[in-house]
Amino acid sequence: MSIPLKSKAFPAALALLLLALGIPQTIDSILWFLTGDTPSQLGGGSPASPDQAEANAALLEKADAWTGDPPARMRAGILRLRLAPANGTVDQKQLQRAIDDLTDGLARDPANSLAWAALSQAQILAGNTGEAKDSLTTSLLLGEHEIGLSLWRCELGLQLWGSLDSDDRNLWNEQVRMAWDNQPRKLADLALSGNGAYMTPIRLALLSDRERLQAFDLAVGRQ
């Protein structure tokens, strides 16, 4: 449910005040509230209010510029990443700003596995497969057991499947198992969305556990 613009005025003004006081973490929370975004939606589609998301990204960039807060810069990059696809095309300027924000933030706070996943998605959109693969691998190594990222990283791995080596695939397999244990219907939907290409990698990841594999096959109509 979107928030009327008038009701957004006070939180936005409060965010500016907190920005001046140097409290970027609180600003971050307010801006997520304003757009209805949550971390679990980071791999999702475009924000419901692109103009508001654009304004929030600019505020987060200012928060970093004024207070030196890399997570704020990375949040801005994630918002810009979600703004880049529009009407079946990719806004290359917005995409490059997303890559720049994410790269800048990670250079100063490199242990952020969520931002590495976002950078991987951005590099996929930019056609930079090698960089996208490296970013995904880094995300997996830094936070292998982050349940909230597992489904998103499953999708990224499927898009990069041909570039992953055996070690990468072993790490990715664990994401598939986590996603199945926590979001089985969404993983099944993901497998069905790939015109058959996604089914085999996901089944291979589940092959070591007969019970999981049987349940997955049932969910996708293979039994």
Q: In this predicted structure, what is the pLDDT of residue 14?
A: 47
In angstroms, the CA 142 to CA 205 distance is 20
Q: In this predicted structure, what is the pLDDT of residue 87?
A: 78
- CB atoms under 10 Å from CB of 70, counted, come to 19
Q: In this predicted structure, what is the pLDDT of residue 48?
A: 66
Q: In this predicted structure, what is the pLDDT of residue 98?
A: 96
Mean pLDDT by 10 residues, the chain (223 residues): 40 49 52 49 61 85 87 90 88 96 97 94 96 97 91 96 96 97 96 93 96 96 76
Residue spans of the domains in the chain: they are 1-110
- CB-CB contact of 140 with 175 (8 Å): yes
In angstroms, the CA 111 to CA 74 distance is 12
- CB-CB contact of 162 with 193 (8 Å): no
Q: In this predicted structure, what is the pLDDT of residue 214?
A: 96
